[in-house]
Amino acid sequence: MAETNQSLQTLDALSSVRGGLASEDGMARLKALELCQRLQLELETPGETLFRTFWAQTAHHWILFAALDLNIPKILSEDGESPKTNTQIAKLANAEPVLIGRLMRHMASMGTVAELGPDTFAHTKFSRYLLTDAATACLTFMRYFQSVSTKAPEYLAQHNYVSPTSPQKAPYVWANGLTDTTFFGHLSQEPKYGPAFAGMMRAESEGKPTWSDGQLYPVKEKLTDVEDSNGALIVDIGAGNGQDLEWFHKNHPDMKGRLILQDLPYITDSVKLDGIEAMAHNFYDEQPVKGKYHFKPQICAKNLLSLSTPPGAQVYILHQIIHDYDDETCLKILRAIIPAMKPGYSKLLINELVLPDKGAHWFTTALDIQLMLCLSARERTRVQFMELVEKVGGGLRVEKIWTPPGNGMLDSLIECTIDP
């Protein structure tokens, strides 16, 4: 009875966001999703939850990979997306109709395809999404990564159930039998999975607000044009495919100053984006885009300021970099930027999820686990970020943490400066 009352309360809460949903309020959508998930768990018996998790979802995962191998999303698009029978799909996929029927039925029960009649299927918005480059990159990488997740319980047992901290000994490295490398070290040698990972990162941020769209951070108030034609406005360190800089360029097309994408050569050798310069740079090395009046301790000892070119940046940004590493490694990355920053002018922006003290969203908790598997890394709380920045030294301090409203699925922006 108590359980039924609980579900009825959740249903009432769900009806109360109806108005918000009708007016397409994004926060109402997030609330409705959270309540739907809660309602499902309240209504299910524990056994139903168990079988849904371990039978239905596990089968759904591998069936999706097989469906992609069989080109099923593409087949569903043919003839103007007209509904298709098992026999028609099987013929085009060169497979047995009975097998296709079984795979399609499970995909329909999980909502991936629509079942319009007996043995007749059509696209949903999800199966259509599977046709995109973004989904292809994600699923290529996720399929490759499956073996690491499967071996994770064994890894933890063999490592005394302690959170891993060394990137060289991360579950990914261990599960693949690698030595003397890290997740990124290995991926940068992988012609298929390196680009798939970069594509997945791009897909993961697609459709989400970006730090520069004015909703999170008042770009117009905070940043100014860089008048020096050689001057950098933004250096995106570990930028991946450069989507953040692309969005910045779209959001602020008239803002003056160079936009520089830095990453390892496996990215910078191939990325080509209008208005954005790609620069190979290992972020453990000292930041090469240095301030014009760049502070060099050895020269400063003689009370001199060095003139270096090219002039330095107004913003150095790290998006989803800090969460890839333990504190010690983060300190190396952050300290390599400090000498390039002009006090009172340059900003160091750390664009990351900030873990709430309670009630973290599944997206954040799942990412935290993925980070542990790939890199022995983790998401951080507000306090952990404050402590990390304090340890960097060189006068770096947190000016403000800009946190978006919502359920914690969106990245915050930790604005750091050095006082003049």
Ligand X SMILES: C[S@@+](CC[C@H](N)C(=O)[O-])C[C@H]1O[C@@H](n2cnc3c(N)ncnc32)[C@H](O)[C@@H]1O
Chain residues binding ligand X by CB under 6 A are 184, 198, 201, 205, 238-240, 263-264, 267, 282-284, 319-321, 324
Contact by Cβ (8 Å): 282, 268: no
Looking at the Cβ atoms of 34 and 324, the one nearer to ligand X is 324
CB of residue 96 to ligand X, shortest distance in Å = 41
Question: At closest approach, how far in Å is the CB of 262 from ligand X?
Answer: 6
Shortest Å distance, C-beta 68 to ligand X: 23
Whichever of 10 and 262 has its CB closer to ligand X, that residue is: 262
Question: Smallest distance from the beta carbon of 324 to ligand X, in angstroms?
Answer: 6
- Cα separation, 317 vs 386, whole angstroms: 17
- Cβ–Cβ under 8 Å, residues 318 and 414: no
Category of 126 on φ-ψ map: left (φ > 0), alpha (ψ -120 to 50) or beta: alpha
Q: Show the tokens assigned to 164.
A: 């891993």
The answer to whether 230 touches 311, Cβ cutoff 8 Å, is yes
Please say which residue, 121 or 325, places its beta carbon nearer to ligand X.
325
Nearer to ligand X, 73 or 199 (CB): 199
Comparing CB distances to ligand X, the nearer of 123 and 319 is: 319
For ligand X, which is the closer residue by CB, 103 or 367? 367
Q: Whole-number minimum distance, CB 327 to ligand X, in Å?
A: 17
From 101, 91, 94, 135, select the one nearest 121 (Cα to Cα). Answer: 101
| Amino acid identity at 366 | A
To ligand X, the closest distance from the beta carbon of 189 in angstroms equals 12
Strand order in the sheet with 313-319: 277-280, 258-263, 232-237, 313-319, 347-352, 412-418, 396-402
Enumerate the H helices of 111-227 as residue ranges: 125-129, 133-158, 171-175, 183-187, 193-205, 219-222
